[in-house]
Amino acid sequence: MNKLSGMEMFVKVVECGNFTAAAAASGVSSTMVAKQIRMVEERIGARLLHRTTRRQHLTEVGQLYFDRCLRVLSAVEYAENSAIELQAAPKGLVRMVAPVSFGCQCLVPELSIYMSRNPDVNVMLNLDNRISNLSDDNYELGIQIGKICEPGVVARPLRTYRRILAASPAYIRKHGMPDHPSQLCNHSCLGLSYWQCQDRWDLIGPESETFRVFINGRFMSNQGDALRSAAINGCGIVLQPDYVLMDDINKKRLVQVLPDWSYKPTPVFLTYLQDSRPSAKLRSLIDFLVGRLGI
């Protein structure tokens, strides 16, 4: 018998007035009720009830124990009801991690819509281009671009990550518009400093043909927004996700370069740890993001 069941039986005996009534209410025998009360008294080391053939009443220790049992059992009931309520309706804090550019440009607008529809859900989003381990870093959801390396995670595919080329109108006027990837080696190309192969771009053409161009340039950065800004200011040709550059292209701050060519597609995944009974907040946010950003 655990302590909690002993508390419950003791409270039942006090509330019902005797062992027989408590046994009937609990669906057990009077002998079992007496045994549980005796075990509680032995564990505590004090008598809780004065019992006669006609009536029973609490001892001083029994009254104190009864009052404390009521508080404990009430707290347990509240905890269980809270957990059930949390499972039934989206509520609570979701901790997420995502790459910087994707998070700012794609994820935050979608999360804003989700939170407006689910006012009891809060989101804590960490933006980091390093690949995070969900279990080690205490994240419930993650956006990962590229290969999934963490074991034990569910990876839901989202729309493919597509990078396009662009440059400022001033740069194009000064250096000309290339009409084939082979001409990019004669241009200033803005590179990502954390890429393993910083000196090459593998591009795919309109007929799915591939072309590897070896690039050079005077500016590189670990942040896509810095490369975008450099391109707007005439520093060279940038290769960045279409969602990062399209607004600048539409507003004529940038001109798309080689529009029939793009960097090889990179898969994007929504990741989360396996859980046979995920919380309502997690289920609803997963379904929302897959519906909005999924394939």
- Tally of CB atoms within 10 A around 101: 22
Q: What is the pLDDT of residue 276?
A: 63
Question: How much is the pLDDT for 86?
Answer: 65
pLDDT at 290: 96
Q: 236 near 190, Cβ under 8 Å?
A: yes
Answer yes or no: pTM beyond 0.85. no
Beta-carbon-side half-sphere exposure of residue 25 (alpha carbons within 13 Å): 16
pLDDT digits (tens, 9 = 90+) for 210-240: 999 998 888 988 888 899 999 999 999 999 9
Domains and CATH numbers, the chain: 3-88 (1.10.10.10), 95-155+276-293 (3.40.190.10), 163-264 (3.40.190.290)
**Cα–Cα dist 225/240, whole Å:** 9
Q: What is the pLDDT of residues 130-165, one digit of tens each?
A: 878 888 888 999 999 988 888 889 999 999 888 999
How confident is the model at residue 252, as a pLDDT?
96
For range 181-189, the mean pLDDT: 94
pLDDT (tens digit, 9 = 90+) per residue, 4-49?
888 999 999 998 988 888 899 888 998 998 899 899 999 989 999 9
The answer to whether the beta carbons of residues 171 and 179 sit under 8 Å apart is: no
